[in-house]
Amino acid sequence: MYILLLVKYPPIQGGVSANCYWLAQALVELGHRVTVLTNAGEVEDECRINLSEEDLGFLNGFRIPNSIKVVSTKKDSEHYFIPQSNPYLSKLISLGLDIISADRPDFIWAYYIEPYGIAALTLSKLTGIPYVIQHAGSDLGRLGLTEQMKSIHQEVYRQALIVSTGQKHYPYFESIGVNKDNFARCGFRHLPGDLFYPIYSNSQTHGTKILVYGKTGSQKGTPQLIEAIKLLWNEEFDVHLTAYWGGRNLKNTTRQLLEANIRKECIDVHGFIPHWRIPEAIRESDAVVFLENNFNISFHTPGIPLEVLSCGRFLITTEEIAKKFPNLISIKNTIVIDGQSLESKAIARAIKLVPKMCPELNEKDFLNASIVYSQGMNNLERFLSIIQARL
Give the domain ranges of the chain: 2-191+371-390, 208-366
- Calculate mean pLDDT across residues 139-148: 77
pLDDT single digits (tens) 109-132? 999 999 999 999 999 999 999 999
pLDDT single digits (tens) 270-305? 999 999 999 999 999 999 999 999 887 777 789 999
Residues 219/294, Cβ–Cβ less than 8 Å: yes
Say if 2-191+371-390 and 208-366 have the same CATH topology. yes
pLDDT at 328: 80
Question: For residue 380, is pLDDT > 70?
Answer: yes
382 Cβ partners below 8 Å, 6+ apart? 187
Phi-psi group of 97: left, alpha or beta (phi > 0 → left; psi -120 to 50 → alpha; rest → beta): alpha
pLDDT at 299: 73
Task: Tell me what percent of the residues of the chain surpass a pLDDT of 70.
Answer: 98
What span, in angstroms and rounded, lies between the C-alpha atoms of 72 and 79? Answer: 18
pLDDT single digits (tens) 312-341? 999 999 999 999 988 788 888 999 997 677
Q: Which fold has domain 208-366?
A: Rossmann fold (3.40.50)
Question: For residue 13, is pLDDT > 80?
Answer: yes
pLDDT single digits (tens) 144-191? 677 899 999 999 999 999 999 999 999 999 999 999 999 999 999 889
Question: 2-191+371-390 architecture in CATH?
Answer: 3-Layer(aba) Sandwich (3.40)
What span, in angstroms and rounded, lies between the C-alpha atoms of 287 and 241? Answer: 10
pLDDT at 188: 93
SS (H, E, C) the chain: CEEEEEECCCCECCHHHHHHHHHHHHHHHCCCEEEEEECHHHCCHHHEECCCHHHHHHCCCCCCCCCEEEEECCCCCCCCCCCCCCCHHHHHHHHHHHHHHHCCCCEEEEECHHHHHHHHHHHHHHHCCCEEEECCHHHHHCHHHCCCCHHHHHHHHHHCCEEECCHHHHHHHHHCCCCHHHEECCCCCCCCCCCCCCCCCCCCECEEEEEEEEECCHHHCHHHHHHHHHHHHHCCCCEEEEEEEECCCHHHHHHHHHHHCCCHHHEEEECECCHHHHHHHHHCCCEEEECCCCCCCCCCCCCHHHHHHHCCCEEEEEHHHHCCCCCCCCCCCEEEECCCCCCHHHHHHHHHHHHHHHHHCCHHHCCCHHHHHHHHHHHHHHHHHHHHHHC
pLDDT band at 218 (very low <50, low <70, confident <90, very high): very high
The answer to whether the pTM exceeds 0.85 is yes
Question: For residue 204, is pLDDT > 90?
Answer: no
Question: For residue 264, is pLDDT > 90?
Answer: no
Question: For residue 33, is pLDDT > 70?
Answer: yes
Q: How does the average pLDDT of the chain come out, rounded?
A: 92
Q: Give which of 214, 196, 213, 215 is closest to 376, Cα–Cα.
A: 196
pLDDT band at 203 (very low <50, low <70, confident <90, very high): low
pLDDT single digits (tens) 48-63? 999 999 999 999 999 9
